[in-house]
Amino acid sequence: MNRKPNPNSRDLTIRCCECNADFIWTASEQKYYSDRNLSTPRRCPKCREARRKRASPNSYYPNSAVPDGQDYTTIMDTKRC
Ligand SMILES: [Zn+2]
């Protein structure tokens, strides 16, 4: 198949450092991260969600859309990958 590269949608495949599952980091997410100067996510959405539920009381991050960014991981990471 002949797939034309589209510079505006380059999804990346990342391997989760926690469960080793491959997940897609979509182009729109990449933009979201770069707009906010966040580092590349190391965990799949499932693990991020699990960590958030486990480690973060509602009072810390009432907004569940907080990404797995630098500040977040600095605060939350006890086990760094
Ligand atoms: Zn994972």
Residues 32-48 pLDDT 10s: 999 999 999 999 999 99
| Dihedral sign of CA atoms 23, 16, 3, 1 in order | negative
Reduce the DSSP state of residue 14 to 3 states and report it: strand
**What integer is the mean pLDDT of 13-31?**
95
CA 6 to centroid of ligand 1, rounded, Å: 27
Structure tokens at 50: 């699990």
- The pLDDT assigned to 35 comes to 96
CA 59 to centroid of ligand 1, rounded, Å: 25
**What integer is the mean pLDDT of 5-32?**
89
Distance in angstroms (rounded) separating the CA atoms of residues 51 and 76: 8
Closest residue by Cα to residue 52 from 72, 70, 71, 38 = 72
Residues 43-76 pLDDT 10s: 999 999 998 888 756 555 555 555 555 454 444 5
- The pTM for the full model equals 0.56
